[in-house]
Amino acid sequence: MTATPSTTVANLRDLGGTPLAGGRTVRPGLVLRSGQLDRLDLDADPVVAALGVRTVIDFRTDAERADHPDRIPPGARLLIGDVLADKLSAGRMPAAAQLKDLMSDPAVAEEHLGGGKAQKLFADTYRAFVNTGSAQAAYRTLLTEAADAGAGPLLFHCTAGKDRTGWGATVLLSLLGADDETLMDEYLSVNPAVRQAFAPMIEGFTAAGGDPDIALALIGVFPSYLGAALDEVAIRYGSMEKYVREGLGVPDETVRALRDRLVV
Protein backbone atom coordinates (compact mmCIF):
# COMPACT_ATOMS: atom_id res chain seq x y z
CA MET A 1 0.00 0.00 0.00
CA THR A 2 2.73 2.39 -0.99
CA ALA A 3 3.19 5.10 -3.59
CA THR A 4 5.91 4.22 -6.06
CA PRO A 5 8.13 7.18 -7.03
CA SER A 6 7.78 7.00 -10.79
CA THR A 7 8.82 10.01 -12.87
CA THR A 8 6.70 9.14 -15.94
CA VAL A 9 3.56 7.43 -14.55
CA ALA A 10 1.20 9.45 -12.36
CA ASN A 11 -0.31 8.05 -9.18
CA LEU A 12 1.51 4.72 -9.33
CA ARG A 13 0.89 2.51 -6.29
CA ASP A 14 1.79 -1.07 -5.40
CA LEU A 15 -1.05 -2.77 -3.52
CA GLY A 16 1.62 -4.97 -1.97
CA GLY A 17 2.02 -4.53 1.76
CA THR A 18 -1.63 -3.67 2.36
CA PRO A 19 -2.60 -5.15 5.76
CA LEU A 20 -5.13 -7.97 5.71
CA ALA A 21 -7.01 -9.98 8.32
CA GLY A 22 -5.01 -12.25 10.61
CA GLY A 23 -1.77 -10.28 10.33
CA ARG A 24 -1.32 -11.13 6.66
CA THR A 25 -0.49 -8.69 3.86
CA VAL A 26 -0.73 -8.40 0.08
CA ARG A 27 2.29 -9.83 -1.71
CA PRO A 28 4.33 -6.94 -3.18
CA GLY A 29 5.18 -6.43 -6.83
CA LEU A 30 2.26 -8.32 -8.37
CA VAL A 31 -0.69 -5.90 -8.53
CA LEU A 32 -0.19 -2.20 -9.20
CA ARG A 33 -2.53 0.72 -9.92
CA SER A 34 -1.91 4.06 -11.61
CA GLY A 35 -3.11 6.80 -13.89
CA GLN A 36 -2.78 6.54 -17.67
CA LEU A 37 0.48 5.37 -19.24
CA ASP A 38 0.68 7.90 -22.10
CA ARG A 39 4.02 9.24 -20.82
CA LEU A 40 5.62 5.98 -19.75
CA ASP A 41 9.34 5.98 -20.57
CA LEU A 42 11.17 2.96 -19.19
CA ASP A 43 14.58 4.34 -20.21
CA ALA A 44 13.99 7.45 -18.12
CA ASP A 45 12.11 5.67 -15.35
CA PRO A 46 14.11 2.80 -13.81
CA VAL A 47 11.57 2.43 -10.98
CA VAL A 48 8.85 1.34 -13.42
CA ALA A 49 11.28 -0.65 -15.57
CA ALA A 50 12.24 -2.69 -12.49
CA LEU A 51 8.62 -3.67 -11.87
CA GLY A 52 8.62 -5.96 -14.91
CA VAL A 53 4.96 -5.32 -15.73
CA ARG A 54 3.61 -8.11 -17.96
CA THR A 55 -0.12 -7.29 -18.08
CA VAL A 56 -1.81 -3.87 -18.37
CA ILE A 57 -5.58 -3.45 -17.96
CA ASP A 58 -6.90 -0.11 -19.28
CA PHE A 59 -10.29 0.90 -17.86
CA ARG A 60 -10.64 4.04 -20.04
CA THR A 61 -13.19 4.90 -22.70
CA ASP A 62 -12.52 4.76 -26.45
CA ALA A 63 -12.15 8.55 -26.56
CA GLU A 64 -9.71 8.64 -23.65
CA ARG A 65 -7.55 5.94 -25.19
CA ALA A 66 -7.55 7.71 -28.57
CA ASP A 67 -6.53 11.04 -27.03
CA HIS A 68 -3.78 9.60 -24.81
CA PRO A 69 -2.73 6.12 -25.98
CA ASP A 70 -0.90 3.98 -23.44
CA ARG A 71 2.77 3.24 -23.88
CA ILE A 72 3.03 -0.43 -23.01
CA PRO A 73 6.23 -2.01 -21.64
CA PRO A 74 7.86 -4.29 -24.24
CA GLY A 75 6.49 -7.81 -24.03
CA ALA A 76 3.49 -6.82 -21.91
CA ARG A 77 -0.13 -7.61 -22.86
CA LEU A 78 -2.69 -4.83 -23.06
CA LEU A 79 -6.28 -5.69 -22.11
CA ILE A 80 -9.13 -3.20 -22.56
CA GLY A 81 -11.94 -3.09 -20.02
CA ASP A 82 -14.03 0.02 -20.76
CA VAL A 83 -15.82 0.43 -17.43
CA LEU A 84 -18.03 3.31 -18.60
CA ALA A 85 -19.05 2.01 -22.04
CA ASP A 86 -22.64 1.24 -21.01
CA LYS A 87 -23.03 4.51 -19.12
CA LEU A 88 -21.80 6.49 -22.12
CA SER A 89 -24.10 4.63 -24.50
CA ALA A 90 -27.01 5.51 -22.19
CA GLY A 91 -26.26 9.19 -22.86
CA ARG A 92 -25.13 10.14 -19.37
CA MET A 93 -21.83 11.99 -19.29
CA PRO A 94 -19.65 10.48 -16.55
CA ALA A 95 -17.61 13.14 -14.78
CA ALA A 96 -14.77 10.71 -14.21
CA ALA A 97 -14.04 10.57 -17.94
CA GLN A 98 -14.67 14.24 -18.79
CA LEU A 99 -12.47 16.21 -16.39
CA LYS A 100 -10.75 18.42 -18.94
CA ASP A 101 -13.91 19.19 -20.87
CA LEU A 102 -15.81 20.17 -17.75
CA MET A 103 -13.03 22.34 -16.37
CA SER A 104 -12.37 24.25 -19.58
CA ASP A 105 -15.40 26.53 -19.04
CA PRO A 106 -16.37 27.63 -15.49
CA ALA A 107 -19.87 28.67 -16.63
CA VAL A 108 -20.56 25.24 -18.13
CA ALA A 109 -19.11 23.60 -15.03
CA GLU A 110 -21.37 25.66 -12.78
CA GLU A 111 -24.44 24.79 -14.86
CA HIS A 112 -23.78 21.05 -14.89
CA LEU A 113 -21.93 20.56 -11.61
CA GLY A 114 -22.76 23.40 -9.20
CA GLY A 115 -24.97 23.13 -6.16
CA GLY A 116 -24.02 19.56 -5.30
CA LYS A 117 -24.60 18.20 -8.81
CA ALA A 118 -20.97 17.07 -9.08
CA GLN A 119 -21.25 14.91 -5.98
CA LYS A 120 -24.53 13.43 -7.24
CA LEU A 121 -22.99 12.71 -10.64
CA PHE A 122 -20.05 10.90 -9.07
CA ALA A 123 -22.31 8.87 -6.80
CA ASP A 124 -24.34 7.85 -9.85
CA THR A 125 -21.16 6.92 -11.70
CA TYR A 126 -19.90 4.82 -8.79
CA ARG A 127 -23.19 2.94 -8.66
CA ALA A 128 -22.69 2.25 -12.38
CA PHE A 129 -19.34 0.63 -11.51
CA VAL A 130 -21.43 -2.03 -9.76
CA ASN A 131 -24.58 -2.35 -11.87
CA THR A 132 -23.62 -1.96 -15.55
CA GLY A 133 -22.53 -4.81 -17.78
CA SER A 134 -19.45 -3.03 -19.15
CA ALA A 135 -18.15 -2.35 -15.65
CA GLN A 136 -18.86 -5.91 -14.53
CA ALA A 137 -16.91 -7.25 -17.51
CA ALA A 138 -13.97 -4.94 -16.78
CA TYR A 139 -13.72 -5.88 -13.11
CA ARG A 140 -14.19 -9.57 -13.93
CA THR A 141 -11.12 -9.23 -16.18
CA LEU A 142 -9.16 -7.60 -13.37
CA LEU A 143 -9.89 -10.37 -10.87
CA THR A 144 -9.40 -13.18 -13.38
CA GLU A 145 -6.04 -11.83 -14.53
CA ALA A 146 -4.83 -11.04 -11.01
CA ALA A 147 -5.57 -14.66 -10.04
CA ASP A 148 -3.56 -16.06 -12.96
CA ALA A 149 -0.01 -16.98 -12.05
CA GLY A 150 0.93 -16.60 -15.70
CA ALA A 151 -0.16 -12.96 -15.87
CA GLY A 152 3.02 -11.71 -14.20
CA PRO A 153 3.05 -8.34 -12.48
CA LEU A 154 -0.22 -6.64 -13.42
CA LEU A 155 -0.96 -2.91 -13.62
CA PHE A 156 -4.52 -1.58 -13.91
CA HIS A 157 -5.41 2.03 -14.54
CA CYS A 158 -7.87 4.62 -15.84
CA THR A 159 -7.09 8.29 -16.55
CA ALA A 160 -6.34 9.74 -13.13
CA GLY A 161 -6.20 6.38 -11.37
CA LYS A 162 -8.73 7.38 -8.73
CA ASP A 163 -12.33 6.37 -9.53
CA ARG A 164 -12.58 3.35 -11.86
CA THR A 165 -9.17 2.23 -10.60
CA GLY A 166 -10.14 3.00 -7.00
CA TRP A 167 -13.16 0.71 -7.21
CA GLY A 168 -11.06 -2.05 -8.76
CA ALA A 169 -8.58 -1.80 -5.88
CA THR A 170 -11.43 -1.83 -3.35
CA VAL A 171 -12.95 -5.02 -4.78
CA LEU A 172 -9.60 -6.75 -4.99
CA LEU A 173 -8.46 -5.83 -1.48
CA SER A 174 -11.84 -6.66 0.02
CA LEU A 175 -11.67 -10.17 -1.43
CA LEU A 176 -8.17 -10.59 -0.03
CA GLY A 177 -9.34 -9.73 3.48
CA ALA A 178 -8.76 -6.01 4.02
CA ASP A 179 -11.10 -4.42 6.57
CA ASP A 180 -13.34 -1.41 5.90
CA GLU A 181 -10.89 1.10 7.37
CA THR A 182 -8.03 -0.23 5.25
CA LEU A 183 -10.19 -0.12 2.12
CA MET A 184 -11.10 3.51 2.75
CA ASP A 185 -7.49 4.44 3.59
CA GLU A 186 -6.25 2.99 0.29
CA TYR A 187 -9.09 4.63 -1.63
CA LEU A 188 -8.39 8.10 -0.18
CA SER A 189 -4.60 7.74 -0.32
CA VAL A 190 -4.45 8.87 -3.95
CA ASN A 191 -5.74 12.39 -3.22
CA PRO A 192 -2.33 14.09 -2.89
CA ALA A 193 -0.96 12.55 -6.11
CA VAL A 194 -4.12 13.31 -8.09
CA ARG A 195 -4.29 16.91 -6.90
CA GLN A 196 -0.64 17.38 -7.77
CA ALA A 197 -1.17 15.94 -11.26
CA PHE A 198 -4.14 18.20 -11.94
CA ALA A 199 -2.84 21.30 -10.13
CA PRO A 200 -2.37 23.38 -13.33
CA MET A 201 -5.91 22.56 -14.44
CA ILE A 202 -7.34 23.49 -11.04
CA GLU A 203 -5.41 26.76 -10.96
CA GLY A 204 -6.57 27.68 -14.47
CA PHE A 205 -10.17 26.85 -13.62
CA THR A 206 -10.27 28.91 -10.43
CA ALA A 207 -8.32 31.78 -12.02
CA ALA A 208 -11.02 31.94 -14.71
CA GLY A 209 -13.69 32.26 -12.02
CA GLY A 210 -14.48 28.60 -11.45
CA ASP A 211 -15.88 27.42 -8.12
CA PRO A 212 -13.07 25.75 -6.10
CA ASP A 213 -15.62 23.35 -4.59
CA ILE A 214 -16.49 22.06 -8.08
CA ALA A 215 -12.81 21.58 -8.89
CA LEU A 216 -12.29 19.66 -5.66
CA ALA A 217 -15.34 17.47 -6.30
CA LEU A 218 -13.99 16.54 -9.73
CA ILE A 219 -10.33 16.09 -8.86
CA GLY A 220 -10.55 14.46 -5.45
CA VAL A 221 -12.02 11.25 -4.09
CA PHE A 222 -14.34 11.30 -1.08
CA PRO A 223 -15.80 8.71 1.28
CA SER A 224 -19.28 9.41 -0.10
CA TYR A 225 -18.19 8.37 -3.61
CA LEU A 226 -16.90 4.98 -2.51
CA GLY A 227 -19.86 4.68 -0.17
CA ALA A 228 -22.25 4.90 -3.13
CA ALA A 229 -20.66 1.85 -4.77
CA LEU A 230 -20.50 -0.09 -1.51
CA ASP A 231 -24.17 0.71 -0.85
CA GLU A 232 -25.05 -0.53 -4.35
CA VAL A 233 -23.25 -3.80 -3.61
CA ALA A 234 -25.10 -4.16 -0.31
CA ILE A 235 -28.52 -3.41 -1.84
CA ARG A 236 -28.15 -5.60 -4.92
CA TYR A 237 -26.06 -8.48 -3.59
CA GLY A 238 -25.76 -8.29 0.18
CA SER A 239 -22.00 -8.86 0.28
CA MET A 240 -18.85 -8.30 -1.74
CA GLU A 241 -18.39 -12.05 -2.20
CA LYS A 242 -21.89 -12.40 -3.69
CA TYR A 243 -21.31 -9.37 -5.95
CA VAL A 244 -18.12 -10.98 -7.24
CA ARG A 245 -19.75 -14.38 -7.73
CA GLU A 246 -23.13 -13.30 -9.16
CA GLY A 247 -22.53 -9.77 -10.49
CA LEU A 248 -19.06 -10.26 -11.93
CA GLY A 249 -19.44 -13.96 -12.68
CA VAL A 250 -16.13 -14.84 -11.05
CA PRO A 251 -16.20 -18.43 -9.73
CA ASP A 252 -15.12 -19.33 -6.21
CA GLU A 253 -12.08 -21.23 -7.48
CA THR A 254 -10.78 -18.04 -9.11
CA VAL A 255 -11.19 -16.17 -5.83
CA ARG A 256 -9.28 -18.94 -4.05
CA ALA A 257 -6.51 -18.73 -6.65
CA LEU A 258 -6.44 -14.94 -6.19
CA ARG A 259 -5.96 -15.32 -2.45
CA ASP A 260 -3.34 -18.07 -2.85
CA ARG A 261 -1.33 -15.89 -5.22
CA LEU A 262 -1.58 -12.51 -3.52
CA VAL A 263 -1.81 -13.11 0.23
CA VAL A 264 1.37 -13.43 2.30
How confident is the model over 3-59, as pLDDT tens digits? 768 999 999 999 999 999 999 999 999 999 999 999 999 999 999 999 999 999 999
Identify which of 182, 33, 12, 157 has the alpha carbon closest to the alpha carbon of residue 96.
157
Element holding 218 (H helix, E strand): helix 212-219
Provide the number of structural domains found in the chain. Answer: 1
* Coil, helix or strand at residue 21: helix
Q: Which value, to the nearest 10 degrees, does the dihedral of the CA atoms of residues 39, 40, 42, 47 take?
A: 110
Q: What is the CATH number of the domain that holds 223?
A: 3.90.190.10
| Cβ pair 153, 32 in contact under 8 A | yes
First-to-last CA distance in the chain? 14
Q: In which domain, by residue range, is 24 found? A: 2-262
The alpha helices in 25-89, defined as continuous H runs, are: 46-49, 62-67, 85-89
- For the entire predicted model, the pTM comes to 0.94
Please work out, in degrees rounded to the nearest 5, the angle formed at the alpha carbon of residue 156 by the alpha carbons of 155 and 161.
Answer: 120
User: Which has the minimum average pLDDT: 81-85, 121-125, 195-199, 244-248?
Assistant: 195-199
How far does CA 122 lie from the centroid of its chain?
13
